[in-house]
């Protein structure tokens, strides 16, 4: 690991000011991804700013009826919190599907959004990667790309975003609160992460020095009619091949609104908006679910080793919607 | 399990580490191992106030490890795992993958289980670490240690300290009503989950055992959970399927 300077930040303005002094500084929260990437030489920050004392770990009700999750709330606390458990079961399920209990005790809401892809070529500094070293090429495009993207990828990058939490947040229309050198702003979760295009080195739309302070959840109409389905190579403690966050608001026997977000298939949590539109007004039955799932993968571009993901995604959407409709 | 033999083995390793291993330690770890204790242990560490930027070099850290508080100066690159093993001679905590993928390095940080390999020691300032060496409150074995022996919950034993630390925290989490992904909505909150074998396996999924001693690990944990008045299902009950 490269040497770096270390500082414990006092509060949010102090953290932002410390970051502004050193362009290659990184904020350190749980460290479960950043420390690992530093061991691998993928991340080589000149300064770590320890933000763990910033008192951003509260989970509280908003005046709107929604809930604010502090950026430093640990994933295990968020998943077990009565407000989250009772109102946003989808988020709790997604959090508890991710990583391991030990990692969830360290991992924070803000850090989860900032985690990098687990693409093997990104991690292996001996191979080309446009995300790690812009312009060096993509090892995955014609390499072993079983875990890679089928939606929204580019010639420069076919990496996927690894988060489960962010997939549920996308479905729930969460809003990310950030503070930077020029003040505070709100970023809808769906606009927080980027598609790779020609600049896959930029995962998010954060400006330099901006710090996530909270994630806000608007009131949810979905109750228990939600399901987070994660499909992976073993039963637990593995990244998703495909995941689906599904929520249905069913009234008088018809779907009023549906939310579908996908993980493991794109460079960002992927909202399947066309599929949602197709479900609106339909009876919550298998035929409608299958048509919606077909719409969700209509634009899929599989690679040599991940063509299975197209069918897997389609079937996973049908299953997640079926379980959501059953309210379990 | 032969306690005296085990102690003498540790003592031998400790002496070897201070003697012939010193030069090797220097060359392998360089400044990472150059932490120095500046005073005797005291009772409780106080988190120090936010500091000025520390340029590459050593950072002051006050950390309680098992029964003692240590005042250290550490290169910020040192992980908690390397601090425990290379500096404190607490070699019960094992380095498996060193990347958060196996759980062998699991310790308790302020009572919660964490991967010590991904935790920088400098962020433990003002906090309390419990390792397998400090898990038992008294001179005897912790109930989980005894149960792992009774139920033969290991083969090679390398993952065992991490399994036991993880299980100790897992039982506390269940007592506090924390759900797992298998826990049905509404069955927690103030209540506690029923620890079916499926629940125990899911809650212990952050600890890999290459020998595959899982059935006996589960039975050891089930026994201790039952003894601690947590609700368990009979052997073989898998709980709510995914």
Closest Cβ opposite residue A89 in set B53, B185, B203: B185
- What local confidence, expressed as pLDDT, does residue B4 receive? 44
Q: Which of A33, A100, A319 to mutate to test the interface with B (most CBs of B within 10 A)?
A: A100
Partner B, chain A 13-42, Cβ-Cβ below 8 Å: 14, 18, 21, 28, 30-32, 35-36, 39
Q: Is B65 helix (H, G, I), strand (E, B) or coil?
A: strand
Q: With cut-offs at 50, 70 and 90, classify the pLDDT of residue A315.
A: very high
Partner A, chain B 19-78, Cβ-Cβ below 8 Å: 47-56, 59, 75-77
Tell me the nearest-neighbour CA distance from A198 into chain B, angstroms.
30
Looking at residue A8, the DSSP 8-state letter turns out to be E
Are residues B76 and A48, on separate chains, in Cβ contact within 8 Å?
Answer: yes
DSSP string computed for A223-291: TT-EEEEEE-SSSSSS--SEEEEEEEEEETTEEEEEEEEEESSSSS-EE-HHHHHHHTTS-SSHHHHHH
- Do A16 and A22 contact (CB within 8 A), yes or no? no
B188 conformational bin, left if phi > 0, alpha if psi -120 to 50, beta if neither: beta
Are residues B100 and A103, on separate chains, in Cβ contact within 8 Å?
Answer: yes
Select the more confidently predicted residue: B27 or A95: A95
Where is average pLDDT lowest: A49-53, B34-38, B82-86, B212-216? B34-38
Partner A, chain B 191-230, Cβ-Cβ below 8 Å: 201-203, 205-208
Q: Which of B206, B218, B184 has the alpha carbon at shortest distance from A101? A: B206
Within a 13 Å sphere around the CA of A250, how many CA atoms are in the beta-carbon half? 18
- What local confidence, expressed as pLDDT, does residue A37 receive? 98
Q: Which of B47, B39, B79, B49 has the alpha carbon at shortest distance from B63? A: B47
Q: Which of A254, A247, A298 has the alpha carbon at shortest distance from A274? A: A298
Residue of chain A whose Cα is closest to the Cα of B31:
A3
Q: Which of A4, A102, A323 to mutate to test the interface with B (most CBs of B within 10 A)?
A: A102
- What local confidence, expressed as pLDDT, does residue A170 receive? 98
Q: What percent of chain A has pLDDT over 70?
A: 100
CB A1: neighbour CB atoms within 10 A? Answer: 17
Q: What percent of chain B has pLDDT over 70?
A: 73
Positive/negative CA dihedral, B4, B8, B14, B15: positive
Distance CA A139, CA A144 (A): 8
Partner A, chain B 119-178, Cβ-Cβ below 8 Å: 119-120, 122-123, 125, 166, 169-170, 173, 176-178
Residue with tokens 């571009």: A301
Closest Cβ opposite residue A106 in set B115, B125, B166: B115
Non-local (6+) Cβ contacts of A273 within 8 A are none
- What local confidence, expressed as pLDDT, does residue B20 receive? 38
Average pLDDT over residues B137-156: 96
Select the more confidently predicted residue: B40 or A327: A327
Contacts of A8 in chain B (CB under 8 A): 48, 50-51, 125
> B17 at the A interface (CB within 8 A)?
no
* pLDDT for B19 beyond 80: no
- What local confidence, expressed as pLDDT, does residue B57 receive? 82
> A103 at the B interface (CB within 8 A)?
yes
pLDDT tens digits, residue range A244-291?
999 999 999 999 999 999 999 999 999 999 999 999 999 999 999 999
- Do B205 and A100 contact (CB within 8 A), yes or no? yes
pLDDT tens digits, residue range A200-231?
999 999 999 999 999 999 999 899 999 999 99
* Residues of chain B by 3-state class (helix, strand, coil), percent to 5: 40, 10, 50
- What local confidence, expressed as pLDDT, does residue A233 receive? 96
- Do B100 and B40 contact (CB within 8 A), yes or no? no
- What local confidence, expressed as pLDDT, does residue B49 receive? 55
Contacts of A35 in chain B (CB under 8 A): 79, 118-120
Looking at residue B96, the DSSP 8-state letter turns out to be S
pLDDT tens digits, residue range B86-136?
999 999 999 999 999 999 999 999 999 999 999 999 999 999 999 999 999
**Arithmetic mean of pLDDT over chain B:** 83
Average pLDDT over residues B178-204: 87
**Arithmetic mean of pLDDT over chain A:** 97
* pLDDT for B242 beyond 60: no
pLDDT tens digits, residue range B196-220?
999 999 999 999 999 999 999 999 9
Phi, psi of B22 (to 5 degrees): -60, -50
Q: With cut-offs at 50, 70 and 90, classify the pLDDT of residue B146.
A: very high
Cα torsion for A10, A14, A15, A16, to the nearest 10°? 160
Select the more confidently predicted residue: B210 or B137: B210
pLDDT tens digits, residue range A141-193?
999 999 999 999 999 999 999 999 999 999 999 999 999 999 999 999 999 99
- What local confidence, expressed as pLDDT, does residue A21 receive? 87
Q: Which of B87, B75, B102 has the alpha carbon at shortest distance from B162? A: B102
Select the more confidently predicted residue: B20 or A33: A33
Select the more confidently predicted residue: B183 or B242: B183
Q: Which of B223, B218, B220 has the alpha carbon at shortest distance from B199? A: B218
* pLDDT for B149 beyond 80: yes
Partner B, chain A 38-67, Cβ-Cβ below 8 Å: 39, 47-48, 50, 52-53
Q: With cut-offs at 50, 70 and 90, classify the pLDDT of residue B184.
A: confident
B30 class by beta-carbon count within 10 Å (0-12 exposed, 13-18 middle, 19+ buried): exposed
Closest Cβ opposite residue B50 in set A9, A76, A80: A9
CB B158: neighbour CB atoms within 10 A? Answer: 17
- Do A229 and A293 contact (CB within 8 A), yes or no? no
Distance CA A94, CA A263 (A): 10
> B114 at the A interface (CB within 8 A)?
yes
Distance CA B128, CA B112 (A): 10
Closest Cβ opposite residue B120 in set A31, A79, A97: A31
Q: Is A4 helix (H, G, I), strand (E, B) or coil?
A: coil
- Do B162 and B169 contact (CB within 8 A), yes or no? no
pLDDT tens digits, residue range A63-94?
999 999 999 999 999 999 999 999 999 999 99
- What local confidence, expressed as pLDDT, does residue B56 receive? 78
pLDDT tens digits, residue range B42-95?
344 565 555 566 677 899 999 999 999 999 999 999 999 999 999 999 999 999
Distance CA B20, CA B155 (A): 31
pLDDT tens digits, residue range A97-108?
999 999 999 999
- What local confidence, expressed as pLDDT, does residue B55 receive? 74
Q: Which of B164, B228, B239, B242 has the alpha carbon at shortest distance from B194? A: B239
Are residues B185 and A85, on separate chains, in Cβ contact within 8 Å?
Answer: yes
Radius of gyration of chain A (CA): 19
- Do B70 and B88 contact (CB within 8 A), yes or no? yes
Contacts of B185 in chain A (CB under 8 A): 85, 89, 224
pLDDT tens digits, residue range A113-139?
999 999 999 999 999 999 999 999 999
Partner A, chain B 83-112, Cβ-Cβ below 8 Å: 98-100, 103, 106, 109, 112
Distance CA A34, CA A40 (A): 10
């Amino acid at each position: 690991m490269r040497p770096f300077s270390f500082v414990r930040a006092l509060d949010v303005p102090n953290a932002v000011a410390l970051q502004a002094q050193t362009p290659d500084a990184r904020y350190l929260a749980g460290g479960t991804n950043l420390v690992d990437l530093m061991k691998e030489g993928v991340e080589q920050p000149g300064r770590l700013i320890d933000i763990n004392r910033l008192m951003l770990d509260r989970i509280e009700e908003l005046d709107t009826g929604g809930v604010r999750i502090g950026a430093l709330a640990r994933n295990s606390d968020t998943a077990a919190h009565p407000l989250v458990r009772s109102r946003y079961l989808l988020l709790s399920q997604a959090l508890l599907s991710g990583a391991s209990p030990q990692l969830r005790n360290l991992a924070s809401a803000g850090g989860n959004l900032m985690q990098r892809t687990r693409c093997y070529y990104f991690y292996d500094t001996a191979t080309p990667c446009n995300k790690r070293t812009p312009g060096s090429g993509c090892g995955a495009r014609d390499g072993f790309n079983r875990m890679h993207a089928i939606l929204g990828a580019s010639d420069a990058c076919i990496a996927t975003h690894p988060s489960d939490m962010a997939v549920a947040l996308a479905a729930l229309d969460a809003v990310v609160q950030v503070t930077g050198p020029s003040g505070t702003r709100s970023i809808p979760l769906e606009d927080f992460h980027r598609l790779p295009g020609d600049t896959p080195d930029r995962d998010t739309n954060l400006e330099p020095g901006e710090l996530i302070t909270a994630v806000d959840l608007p009131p949810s109409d979905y109750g228990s009619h939600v399901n987070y389905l994660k499909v992976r190579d073993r039963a637990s403690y593995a990244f998703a091949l495909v995941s689906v966050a599904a929520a249905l608001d069913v009234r008088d026997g018809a779907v009023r609104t549906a939310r579908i977000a996908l993980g493991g298939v794109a460079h960002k949590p992927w909202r399947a908006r066309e599929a949602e539109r197709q479900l609106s007004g339909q009876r919550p039955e298998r035929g409608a679910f299958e048509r919606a799932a077909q719409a969700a993968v209509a634009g899929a571009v599989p690679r040599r080793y991940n063509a299975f993901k197209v069918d897997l995604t389609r079937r996973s959407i049908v299953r997640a919607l079926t379980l959501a409709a059953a309210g379990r | 399990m032969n306690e005296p033999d085990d102690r003498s083995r540790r003592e031998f390793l400790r002496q070897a580490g201070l003697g012939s291993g010193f030069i090797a330690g220097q060359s392998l770890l360089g400044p990472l191992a150059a932490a120095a204790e500046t005073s005797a242990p005291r009772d409780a560490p106080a988190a120090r106030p936010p500091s000025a930027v520390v340029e590459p070099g050593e950072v002051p850290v006050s950390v309680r490890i098992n029964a003692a508080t240590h005042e250290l100066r550490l290169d910020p690159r040192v992980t908690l795992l390397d601090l425990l093993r290379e500096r404190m001679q607490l070699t019960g905590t094992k380095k498996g993958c060193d990347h958060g993928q196996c759980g062998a390095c699991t310790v308790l940080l302020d009572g919660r289980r964490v991967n010590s390999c991904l935790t920088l020691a400098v962020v433990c300032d003002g906090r309390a670490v419990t390792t397998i060496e400090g898990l038992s409150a008294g001179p005897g074995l912790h109930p989980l240690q005894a149960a792992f022996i009774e139920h033969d919950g290991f083969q090679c034993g390398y993952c065992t300290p991490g399994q036991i630390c993880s299980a100790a925290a897992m039982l506390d989490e269940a007592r506090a009503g924390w759900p797992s992904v298998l826990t049905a909505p509404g069955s927690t909150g103030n209540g506690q989950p029923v620890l079916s074998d499926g629940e125990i396996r899911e809650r212990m999924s952050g600890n890999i055992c290459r020998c595959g001693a899982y059935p006996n690990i589960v039975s050891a944990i089930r026994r201790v959970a039952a003894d601690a008045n947590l609700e368990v299902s009979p052997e073989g009950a898998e709980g709510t399927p995914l």
